[in-house]
């Protein structure tokens, strides 16, 4: 598989990464551990070198899974994890508010190193911006960890342009991770131009719209009771029905390209900038192979113009998150 560099950081990874969250968290009950270890190792065999996890996925169990699965490939793969939540197993999804105090960041790093079975965290993201802690203090704490050799690169997730600049001035930011896809293009306004200017890589999560852009979900799809999509305004049956137009558009282009809607959605992202590395998640080998196939799809300038013109005429219905979660983004 081709490689890409995340901005000026010299952090080189496969052109597509693998988001591991759904193996343990958010999309229904946790999946079988042995099967998920096999899937992660199958991704490595197929050229994927970039794996995304976080302490809060599970909590903790996803880091343990990723650490065990990738133990045979030390030095060949890049593992990204995240800090910044207060974790309380009694709270909903384990999330009990934000905590990016420097001492907490350092505690999280120590615990993540053990779970991931590594000597150094390749990429350590602040999961959400904590308005109670100046971003300079957050960047300074990660800088200390980098100087101690416990972390290699600093990242931010769902941060706004001003925060990115302030953090980058203290400790260079290697990558920013935020949601970005054909049905959520918010980063194009301020974040992508800022990253381009500063030489920071971009890692889109949910590049397939939490599964919607695959074309396998419609207004009649029902999700497991523990699937967090049940709480998302964009996934109400009415919103899914209204948003089907975007999937239909991808389907038409996919037919022409002898591809799938998911592959076109990923190829579109890859065509935006050479420093963008999407991290689609999956728990199925067939989907993993389908996603990897997107790297081989060439979209011409005409294709891209056609997609953007058609997509701009479709208004996506429904907020992507409930308001209390959305307020944590873009700060």
Note whether 80 and 322 are within 8 A (CB): no
Domain that holds residue 306: 3-326
Note whether 265 and 64 are within 8 A (CB): no
Residues 241 and 34: their CA atoms lie apart, in Å, by: 36
The model's pTM: 0.97
The dihedral formed by the CA atoms of 190, 154, 138 and 97, expressed in degrees to the nearest 10 = 80
Cis-peptide into 59, omega within 30 deg = yes
Is there a domain that residue 194 lies in? yes
Is there a domain that residue 9 lies in? yes
- If you ran DSSP here, which 8-state letter would residue 313 be given? T
pLDDT of residue 90: 80
Is there a domain that residue 205 lies in? yes
Question: What is the number of domains present in the chain?
Answer: 1
Is there a domain that residue 135 lies in? yes
Is there a domain that residue 27 lies in? yes
pLDDT of residue 96: 83
Beta-bridge partner residues of 84: none
* Interior angle at CA 169, CA 164 and CA 175, nearest 5: 45
Active centre residues (catalytic): 57
111 to each of 23, 154, 263, how far by Cα in Å? 20, 17, 36
Note whether 276 and 50 are within 8 A (CB): no
Beta-bridge partner residues of 27: 227
- Nearest one of 176, 160, 129 to 11, comparing CA atoms: 176
Residues 166 and 35: their CA atoms lie apart, in Å, by: 42
Residues 128 and 329: their CA atoms lie apart, in Å, by: 7
Mind giving me the DSSP string for 130-154?
-TTS-HHHHHHHHHHHHHTTSEEEE
CA 13 remoteness from chain centre: 14
What's phi and psi for 153, nearest 5 deg?
Answer: -140, 150
Mind giving me the DSSP string for 40-77?
HHHHHHTT--EEE--TTTTTTHHHHHHHHHHGGGTTTS
CATH number at residue 8: 3.20.20.100
Is there a domain that residue 314 lies in? yes
Residues 176 and 221: their CA atoms lie apart, in Å, by: 32
The series of mean pLDDT values per 10 residues for the chain, 331 residues long, is: 95 98 95 98 98 96 98 97 92 86 98 98 98 98 98 98 98 98 95 98 98 96 95 96 94 95 98 98 98 96 92 92 91 95
CA 255 remoteness from chain centre: 27
CA 98 remoteness from chain centre: 19
Is there a domain that residue 331 lies in? no
Is there a domain that residue 86 lies in? yes
């Amino acid at each position: 598989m081709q490689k890409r560099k995340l901005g000026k950081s010299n952090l080189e990874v496969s052109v597509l990464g693998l988001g591991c969250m759904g193996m343990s968290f958010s999309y229904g009950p946790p999946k079988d551990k042995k099967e998920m270890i096999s899937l992660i190792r199958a991704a490595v065999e197929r050229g994927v070198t970039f794996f995304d996890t976080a302490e809060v996925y599970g909590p903790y169990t996803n880091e343990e899974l990723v650490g065990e699965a990738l133990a045979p490939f030390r030095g060949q793969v890049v593992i990204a994890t995240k800090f910044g939540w207060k974790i309380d197993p009694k709270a909903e999804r384990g999330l009990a508010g934000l905590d990016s105090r420097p001492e907490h960041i350092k505690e999280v790093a120590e615990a993540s190193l053990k779970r991931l079975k590594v000597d150094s965290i390749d990429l350590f993201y602040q999961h959400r911006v904590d308005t109670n802690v100046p971003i300079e203090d957050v960047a300074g704490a990660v800088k200390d960890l980098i100087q101690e050799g416990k972390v290699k690169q600093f990242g931010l997730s769902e941060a706004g342009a001003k925060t990115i600049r302030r953090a980058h001035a203290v400790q260079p930011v290697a990558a920013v991770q935020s949601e970005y896809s054909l049905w959520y293009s918010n980063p194009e306004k301020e974040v992508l131009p800022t990253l381009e200017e500063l030489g920071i890589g971009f890692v889109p999560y949910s590049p397939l719209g939490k599964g919607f852009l695959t074309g396998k979900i419609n207004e009649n799809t029902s999700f497991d009771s523990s699937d967090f999509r049940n709480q998302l305004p964009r996934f109400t049956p009415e919103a899914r029905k209204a948003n089907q137009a975007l999937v239909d558009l991808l389907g038409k282009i996919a037919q022409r390209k002898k591809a799938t809607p998911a592959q076109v959605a990923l190829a579109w992202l890859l065509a935006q900038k050479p420093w963008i590395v999407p991290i689609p998640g999956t728990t199925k080998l067939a989907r993993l192979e389908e996603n990897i196939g997107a790297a081989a799809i060439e979209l011409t300038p005409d294709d891209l113009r056609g997609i953007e013109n058609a997509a701009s005429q479709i208004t996506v219905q429904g907020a992507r998150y409930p308001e209390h979660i959305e307020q944590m983004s873009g700060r």
